[in-house]
Chain A
Amino acid sequence: MGADEGRSRTYPVRENMPLQRMAWRMERLGWYCLVLLAVLALAGLFSKGPLSTASAATADNSLRVEYQRFARNGAQSQLMVDARGTGDSLDIILAGELLDGFSIESMQPEPQQSISHPGNGLRLRMAANEQGQVRVRIQLKADGVGPFASSLSVADQQVELRQFIYP
């Protein structure tokens, strides 16, 4: 800005041009931040997007979980569990903080039995199909705020989930 335009006038109003220029600069910086945030939101930083969709599996692939890394308080998200076992049913154990941060809205298919597990976990007895497979979709609603670490296990296989819930 030229020297004359940058000078603070005192009449008819008292200006503070250094502060005003800083305000204009902050404004400009703010616009870039807004665009950046919108791009990050599209990428999934605030749930539902490539950055957020994650999957975890055990080494032998007998248990595979697809989940959202980021969730928002009050919003729903899905947890998909693929498990393989022998016999006509298998137990999926949800443990850790999952049930502190989320409440289970619905589950497809429904478990045959739902039993509390030591700690604050939940043991779900699921019916397996002819191939010994179970695929269950769990609809979660985020209640908490902050980071939540939980684990899912079938037999002795376990996967860890780390999720973050935005306020």
Chain B
Amino acid sequence: MDAVLRAAAIYIALLILFKLAGRRSLAQLTTFDFVLLLIIGEATQQALLGEDFSVTNAVLVIMTLIAIDVGASLLKRRSERIAYLLDGSPTIVVENGVALEERLAKARLRLDDIMESARENGLERVEQIKFAIIERNGKISIIPREQ
């Protein structure tokens, strides 16, 4: 019984914490972020398994995690509101060459971060950007203006 409860509790706790960490942390994964993720994994592992290192326990934990994950994706398909709650929606932060400063501030991004992605697309100035969009996974998409 407790294997299922443990897995469910950890799933929900991680879901909430990563939601709070925001989309940004996933967008630009630095080496340090990567190490941090490893440590988070390490801290989680003990709580997931407890002191029971049996195959049964491991299978039960994995089964529960996958079941919840599938369940969440089914819920997301059914309800747009839940989908939004779990995944967020894309947000436009540069429109027709003008940065939407308040949105950038709320998303904890600077124009420099946008320009970094713009340069990867071969753009030099903010005026050349038609749209910059923070995607649901935290990636910044750039759509250039037609010349």
Name A's B-contacting residues (CB within 8 A). 1-2, 5, 9, 12-16, 19-21, 23-24, 27, 30-31, 34, 74, 167
Contact B84 A19 (CB under 8 A): yes
* With A24-B106, A34-B20 as contacts: A15 and B89 at CB distance below 8 Å: yes
> Which residues of chain B from 78 to 100 have any CB-CB distance to chain A below 8 Å in the complex?
81, 84-85, 88-92, 95, 100
16 interchain pairs (CB within 8 A)? A1-B106, A5-B100, A5-B102, A9-B92, A13-B90, A13-B92, A13-B133, A15-B89, A15-B92, A19-B84, A23-B85, A23-B88, A27-B20, A30-B16, A34-B20, A74-B50
Q: Taking the nearest CB of chain A, how far is it from the CB of B64, in angstroms?
A: 16
Contact A20 B89 (CB under 8 A): yes
Q: For A9, list chain B residues within 8 Å (CB).
A: 92, 95
Name B's A-contacting residues (CB within 8 A). 5, 9, 16, 19-20, 22, 50-51, 81, 84-85, 88-92, 95, 100-103, 106-107, 131, 133, 143
A16 to B16, CA, bound (A): 21
- Known contacts A14-B89, A16-B84, A24-B107; 7 additional CB pairs below 8 A are A1-B103, A1-B106, A12-B92, A13-B133, A19-B84, A30-B19, A30-B20
Q: For B133, list chain A residues within 8 Å (CB).
A: 12-13
A74 to B143, CA, bound (A): 53
Q: Which of A5, A12, A16 contacts B103 (CB 8 A)?
A: A5
Q: Which of A2, A12, A19 contacts B143 (CB 8 A)?
A: A12
Contact B89 A19 (CB under 8 A): yes
Q: Nearest CB to that of B92 among chain A residues?
A: A9
Q: For B20, list chain A residues within 8 Å (CB).
A: 27, 30-31, 34
Q: For A27, list chain B residues within 8 Å (CB).
A: 19-20, 22
Contact B88 A20 (CB under 8 A): yes
Q: For A2, list chain B residues within 8 Å (CB).
A: 102
Q: For B100, list chain A residues within 8 Å (CB).
A: 5
Contact B143 A15 (CB under 8 A): no
Q: For A24, list chain B residues within 8 Å (CB).
A: 106-107
Q: For B85, list chain A residues within 8 Å (CB).
A: 23
Q: For B19, list chain A residues within 8 Å (CB).
A: 27, 30
Q: For A167, list chain B residues within 8 Å (CB).
A: 5, 9
